[in-house]
Amino acid sequence: MQITDTAAIVTGGASGLGGATARALAARGGRVFALDLAPAIEKAEQVEGVTYVAADVTDPEQVQAAVDQAAGSGVPLRIVVNCAGVGWAGRVLGKQGPHDLELFRKVVEINLIGTFNVLRLAAEAVAKTEPLVDDQRGVVINTASVAAFEGQIGQIAYSASKGGVAALTVPAARDLSSVGIRVMTIAPGIVDTPMLATVSDEFRAGLAAGVPFPKRLARPDEYAQLAVSIVEHDYLNGEVIRMDGALRMAPR
């Protein structure tokens, strides 16, 4: 599927994985609608071909409005990349007692329910576009994590939410096959995003040393490169691709 002259929605599009993906799609001729929270958009780099839209992925009305904007942009909406997410930590039983239930609920709401909310509403719009070769209409790419498979101590909420994203990949692909929409998931390892901006160089070096090869943190542009490849490769569907340098997370 070609990216030129199509509309794309990228959530978490103001920075990190989403920001890199929005730039990559725009550079290839896509008309990108980057969804994020208003404070993040205020700090975002202005990029030609990228329109920032303030929207909370867990809010159906805000997401629907963003989908309508993308679908009504004059080119068909065919690409959706879900990058919005949070990584708040907590143990099942910590020094302060049991894991805060509302924190667990919030992580699942943003990472899993937010992803599904965008998936379901965007799919409805993509399904209304004219079919391409092999009756294909578009692709949705979700973001899980290696924590979906090897969650570390303190990642109970994050791992549960990302495990859900990985698990919905196949049924979503099967559900949407009748309307020509592919569904894929990328499971990144440790990526050098703003989430790691506050850690020390020593801690960052320790993280990189744990990656078999190459012994460094992944870059957001490498996630974007993979997302673009998935969009353009019409036979990739219903699969979770790890982008982790062969990393298998230790307990801590």
Q: Is the dihedral of CA 193, 197, 202, 203 positive or negative?
A: negative
- Region 210-233: mean pLDDT is 96
Quote the pLDDT of residue 202: 81
Q: Are strands 77-82 and 93-94 parallel, antiparallel or unpaired?
A: unpaired
Report whether pLDDT(199) > 80. Answer: no
Neighbours of 7 (CB within 10 A): 27
Confirm whether pTM is higher than 0.85: yes
Give the mean pLDDT of the chain: 96
Q: With pLDDT > 70 as the criterion, what percentage of the chain qualifies?
A: 98
Q: Which amino acid, one-letter code, is at 28? A: R
Quote the pLDDT of residue 196: 73
Neighbours of 47 (CB within 10 A): 16
91-146, pLDDT tens digit by residue? 999 999 999 999 999 999 999 999 999 999 999 999 999 999 999 999 999 999 99
Nearest by Cα to 83 from 23, 28, 129, 136: 23
- Residue 238: which residues within 8 A CB-CB, separation 6 or more? 169, 170, 173, 174, 182, 183, 184
Quote the pLDDT of residue 198: 65
Quote the pLDDT of residue 146: 96
- Region 61-80: mean pLDDT is 98
Q: Which amino acid, one-letter code, is at 60? A: P
Quote the pLDDT of residue 200: 74
Q: How confident is the model at residue 252 (pLDDT cuts 50, 70, 90)?
A: confident
Active-site annotation holds for 158? yes
7-61, pLDDT tens digit by residue? 999 999 999 999 999 999 999 999 999 999 999 999 999 999 999 999 999 999 9
Dihedral, 26, 238, 119, 111 alpha carbons, nearest 10: -90
Task: Check 52, 158, 223, 235 and give the catalytic one.
Answer: 158
Domains defined along the chain, listed by start: 7-243 (3.40.50.720)
